[in-house]
Amino acid sequence: MSTLRVLVTDHGFPNLHHEETVLRAAGIGLVVAQCKTADEVIAAGRDADALLVQWAPVTAAVIAALTRCQVIVRYGIGVDNVDLAAAKARGIPVCNVPDYGVEEVAGHAVALGLALARQLPSIDARLRAGTWKITPDRPMPALGTTTFATAGFGRIARAAHRMMGGFGGPRIAYDPFVPAEAMAAAGVEKVELDALFARSDILSLHLPFTAETKHFVNAARLASLKPTAVIVNTARGPLVDTMALAAALTAGALGGAGLDVYEAEPLPADHPLRAAPRTLLTSHVAWYSESSIPRLQQLAAEEVVRSLRGEPLKNQVNK
């Protein structure tokens, strides 16, 4: 039996064949649990050499109880359920898998934005209710003149800009960490925050969730958007004050909103967004395709192997 042991704290995959294959080839054992609480993670993973985590909470208490752990790898991009500071204090790298579903999330964001810009949900509902009308109920700018904007200019935002480039409209982005030259090389104009909101026709969010980005889209910034503008969020739920968003949509002050992530998930049954007009709401599925799941599983397992072999890590987030 291998002296190295990796614990999958929890998962929602059909199977773990990809992890088993990667780890077995490296001579590493795999143990699988379905932990829902911190205490369950401690009980299952106290002596594990590495953790592969999907949704289970890896709190400071969990990290303090780990006796052998050399790395924690999160299935996915966000690491909100892992205490990064506690792990860093213990010298345990935390890694994510940021490149498994880039095309899927970008495509989902673009699909939401285009559907709302072309008013497909409201036109579909109108037709089903018995109204046949060959013009939309609200102003509809041509896609060739529509300004596509992203908050953030990382992998997914760049892919979304590439997809939108074919429509020929202006493209802008706000990201204080990316130089204007890098954006210009992709045909994108770098703008400041106020201009981002003032000029956007479709504004797609691609930011991490931090204390600074919580409610990045709030009532004041919603008020600075064009009344025809569309907001899209496939990144992190807390980037948007969803109560303020629902109020703006209900008041007719916004062209539409397409959301795949929410401040609380599942989206509460009584949340006003469910009744807000001009919305497309999806259930955190932007990451998914038939190929993204196995890619995610394989890349996560490969990062674990790199760590246990003492090789450089690709995606450590708590340096």
Cα–Cα distance, 21 to 115 (Å, whole number): 40
Q: Is 17 a catalytic residue?
A: no
Q: Is 265 a catalytic residue?
A: yes
Catalytic residue among 118, 155, 215, 284: 284
CATH number of 5-100+290-308: 3.40.50.720
Catalytic residue among 24, 192, 265, 274: 265
Residues of the chain with pLDDT under 50: 1
**pLDDT tens readout for residues 58-114:** 999 999 999 999 999 999 988 989 999 999 999 999 999 999 999 999 999 999 999
Domain ranges (residues) in the chain: 5-100+290-308, 102-281
- Residue 83: predicted pLDDT: 98
Residue 168, sorted as left (phi over 0), alpha (psi -120 to 50) or beta, turns out to be left
What stretches of the chain show up as alpha helix (H) in DSSP?
17-25, 38-45, 60-65, 84-89, 102-117, 120-128, 155-164, 180-185, 193-199, 219-223, 242-250, 292-308
Domains 5-100+290-308 and 102-281 share a fold: yes
SS3 category, 47? coil
Catalytic residue among 236, 278, 302, 306: 236
CATH number of 102-281: 3.40.50.720
- Residue 36: predicted pLDDT: 97
- Residue 272: predicted pLDDT: 98
Full-model pTM: 0.87
Q: Is 236 a catalytic residue?
A: yes
